[in-house]
Amino acid sequence: MKLIAPAKINLYLEIIGNRPDGYHELVMILQSIDLADEIELHSISDETIRVHCSHPQVPTDKSNLIYRAAELMATKFPQALAKHGGVEITLNKHIPVAAGLAGGSTNAAAVLVGIDLLWNLGLTQTELEDLGAILGSDVPFCVAGGTVIATGRGEQLSPLPSLDHIYIVLGKYRSLEVSTAWAYTTYRQEFGSTYLQDTNDLAARAAAVHSGPIVKAILEKDAVAIAQKLHNDLEKVVLPSYPQVLQLRELFASQPGVIGTMMSGSGPSVFALCETQQQAEQIQQQVRQIIPDEDLELFVTRTIAHGVKVDS
């Protein structure tokens, strides 16, 4: 079985409070993009989990989110494991690693969906999302995909009408990795005093985003209005610490045809929104001429309406 595991960008990321579990209360708008990994998955006779990936930055031991997703399914469904045997999983990596694009999260989501099908478990999407939440805050979204408002620590999903064919130029320096935990911890240290405390205030803030300008623009499929309302609180701590990311963001913003630009998630990926594929390709070429450094990976991709799916 072969599955497609799309990456994501954050069109909106607001940190609104602390949680008792040490995570942050968020209001986000997550968007699936065409840049994706491929996951091949098949049953093997013994009850083991084998992970293969040739990417130098991706571990193939038990720390890999692919392994952890398969292990979770084996733990939750021991009878199915005994009946069908273990799984051998091969990851063909295209999504930059530790980039703010949910690379590991979407791989985990693909394994949950794939094993559900392989073992004929018949799990609902909500059940798969709930299993995903055990593995990481972005995994439930990666199961669902499309255009979604996410609250809580990112696992409470409220789907929006999907955006597709908004074109994107995405840039990530191979040598840069940003720890998501570092970004949130640093944000808390610097801005934690602004956090909302009361549950009702948190709910009111989430509702305000739901009825606010960027969701209105999404409902109207107004790409220019969406691009003007992009937001990411984590830029406040990542950009000052990573000047190359700030430089790339400013370079994107200066290119004709770019309607908006933002860092994705905890970075260091930066994306620029464009209205046509031709504009995106021209911007990619222009940026490559300005920054010939091969350390900078540049992609042209687009918004899509789905998350993890079986490759037809």
Ligand X SMILES: C[C@](O)(CO)[C@H](O)COP(=O)(O)OP(=O)(O)OC[C@H]1O[C@@H](n2ccc(N)nc2=O)[C@H](O)[C@@H]1O
Ligand Y SMILES: Nc1ncnc2c1ncn2[C@@H]1O[C@H](COP(=O)(O)OP(=O)(O)OP(=O)(O)O)[C@@H](O)[C@H]1O
Active site residues: 8, 138
Contacts of 160 (CB under 8 A, 6+ apart): 29, 146, 147, 148, 149, 215, 218, 219
List alpha helices for the chain, DSSP H.
65-76, 78-84, 103-118, 125-135, 139-144, 180-191, 199-210, 213-219, 223-228, 235-241, 243-253, 277-290
Residue 184 CA to residue 169 CA, distance in Å, equals 25
Partner from ligand X, ligand Y, none contacting 65, C-beta within 5 to 8 A by type: ligand Y
Q: Is 102 annotated as a binding residue?
A: yes
Encoded tokens for 268 = 């260091």
Residue 124 CA to residue 128 CA, distance in Å, equals 6
Q: Is 105 annotated as a binding residue?
A: yes
Contact between residue 84 and residue 43 where contact means Cβ atoms under 8 Å apart:
yes
CB of 142 to ligand X, least distance (A): 9
Does residue 151 belong to the site contacting ligand X (CB under 6 A)? no
CB of 293 to ligand Y, least distance (A): 21
| Residue 129 backbone dihedrals phi, psi, to 5 degrees | -65, -40
Q: Residue 218 class from Cβ within 10 Å (0-12 exposed, 13-18 middle, 19+ buried)?
A: buried
Q: Which of residues 255-274 bind ligand X (CB under 6 A)?
A: 265-266
CB of 267 to ligand X, least distance (A): 9
**Residue from 138, 157, 257, 279 that binds ligand X (CB under 6 A)?**
138
The site for ligand Y (CB under 6 A) is made up of: 58-59, 63-66, 91, 97-105, 107, 138, 180, 265-266
Q: Which of residues 81-100 bind ligand X (CB under 6 A)?
A: 100
Cα 96 from chain centre:
11
Q: Is 100 annotated as a binding residue?
A: yes
**Residue from 7, 24, 249, 271 that binds ligand X (CB under 6 A)?**
24
CB of 133 to ligand Y, least distance (A): 13
**Residue from 44, 83, 158, 181 that binds ligand X (CB under 6 A)?**
181
Partner from ligand Y, ligand X, none contacting 184, C-beta within 5 to 8 A by type: ligand X
Contact between residue 90 and residue 52 where contact means Cβ atoms under 8 Å apart:
yes
Q: Is 98 annotated as a binding residue?
A: yes
Chain residues binding ligand X by CB under 6 A are: 10, 13, 23-24, 26, 28, 100, 102, 105, 136-138, 153-154, 180-181, 184, 265-266
Binding residues for ATP: 96-106
